[in-house]
Structure 1
């Protein structure tokens, strides 16, 4: 699968799934804008890794939860890379806790980044993608957006909103040759879920996954690259689970 002559913007790409996605797209030939909010050194490390492998990349700072910053990010990425064809909305945060314990602002903070970032960046690329009748948007969602779990009410709500947004924008943009899909990742051991895995290193949760293992960022990134590329040219409006069978069963136990 080749992404030669394609340019991609990956939000929240300094670490975790975003980093793996940026590397996977670059390995397939895409030029990549590596977005970060606070981890400049880590983003620049991703850029160096891509360049050392013979690819082309740039690190760009922006808080995608801010609509003006998101628009500026898209404009800067488009200018720096000479165009834009792929957008991966990956930036995300957590603020876990039981609904009666969490801060009243917890839901808003999580929604602003997890859903708002995707909303703002998608709105920012839409006109150019429509005009060139070419573009692929992949949203990084979660199985938490498909089912409920203890302590995840605000995070699950943000991902549920992202899934609905994926389907609606896919329908809106399809006639312009622009595809929109999402991946619903299962448990991926990154900093984002450190608190969830803290109890026993995740052993109890892992035993409840049918495949008895957690996903790696690279496994998620491979599916993202597929959805972004030409092999998925007739796929749009899909939320693809990458969870080792987690969402296929009746339910998980407590964390």
Structure 2
């Protein structure tokens, strides 16, 4: 039986690169989108051209019932769910004292809560299969408790993703399920690009991020870990 993968937010950007990398590895894939249907269809066709089955599914994963529906549809249409990559997450840069209640909630909902909702829905499918790989997308330096006044809400959410991932990794280790985090630094599609702050002097290529995800997918004895793909940024 061919293994299957769901990548949230995979119509474009990092999510698309990860999904296509999984398709090249032979996974049947579910392309998830919220609003970008045209881009999702293009990505679906690109994955299908690699010789795998590819479907596209719409959902707002900040809503628990929609997250559940997304996972159920992916597992039903693909015949199970073995790999989940939680890539959805908005970014906000604003002084913390000017962060509105709505902005604060959006950061937690899109980065932390969405990861929780989708993963909790996926776990039973992986337990039944006796195999699972969960890879959550973090943020370079989020595990270091440093003051980041301009992106506080975002970093708090990503630190929460890391803590959730570690706890889940410990709980699921004996059931053949690993849970890990890939933490990007400044990538080629980042909103701000302060290259002068990166020790390696260049942006991360999206394929480099995808390869880090593939490492966690391939390895069965690595769990609860964080890989930073950041060129030394935020050390």
Taking structure 2 as the reference length, the TM-score comes to 0.95
Give the whole-Å Cα distance in 2 for the aligned partners of 1:132 and 1:8: 13
Give the whole-Å Cα distance in 2 for the aligned partners of 1:156 and 1:61: 27
Please, which moves more after superposition, 104-113 or 145-154?
Answer: 145-154
List aligned pairs for 1:94-105, cutoff 5 A: 94-105=91-102
Give the whole-Å Cα distance in 1 for the aligned partners of 2:165 and 2:104: 20
Q: Is the 8 A contact 1:171 1:237 kept in 2?
A: yes
Shift in Å, 1:80: 0.9
List aligned pairs for 1:30-109, cutoff 5 A: 30-109=27-106
Q: Is the 8 A contact 1:70 1:117 kept in 2?
A: yes
Q: Does 1:233 align with 2:232?
A: no
Match in the other structure for 2:152: 153
Give the whole-Å Cα distance in 2 for the aligned partners of 1:161 and 1:151: 18
Q: Does 1:129 align with 2:116?
A: no
Shift in Å, 1:175: 1.4
Shift in Å, 1:208: 2.0
Give the whole-Å Cα distance in 1 for the aligned partners of 2:3 and 2:164: 25
The alignment partner of 1:227 has SS state of helix
Aligned length: 233
Give the whole-Å Cα distance in 2 for the aligned partners of 1:164 and 1:146: 9
Shift in Å, 1:214: 1.0
User: 1:67-86: per-residue Cα shift (whole Å, max 9, x none)?
Assistant: 11011101100011111100
* Cα RMSD for the two superposed structures: 1.3
List aligned pairs for 1:6-25, cutoff 5 A: 6-25=3-22
Runs of 5+ in structure 1 lacking a partner? 249-255
The alignment partner of 2:97 has SS state of coil
Q: Is the 8 A contact 2:61 2:118 kept in 1?
A: yes
Match in the other structure for 1:185: 184
Q: Is the 8 A contact 2:80 2:125 kept in 1?
A: no
Shift in Å, 1:182: 0.5
Give the whole-Å Cα distance in 2 for the aligned partners of 1:136 and 1:70: 18
The alignment partner of 1:93 has SS state of coil
Match in the other structure for 1:224: 213
Taking structure 1 as the reference length, the TM-score comes to 0.88
Give the whole-Å Cα distance in 2 for the aligned partners of 1:125 and 1:50: 22
The alignment partner of 1:142 has SS state of coil
Give the whole-Å Cα distance in 2 for the aligned partners of 1:42 and 1:25: 18
Match in the other structure for 1:251: none
Shift in Å, 1:144: 4.6
Q: Is the 8 A contact 1:227 1:235 kept in 2?
A: yes
Q: Is the 8 A contact 1:144 1:152 kept in 2?
A: no
Runs of 5+ in structure 2 lacking a partner? none
Q: Is the 8 A contact 1:7 1:83 kept in 2?
A: yes
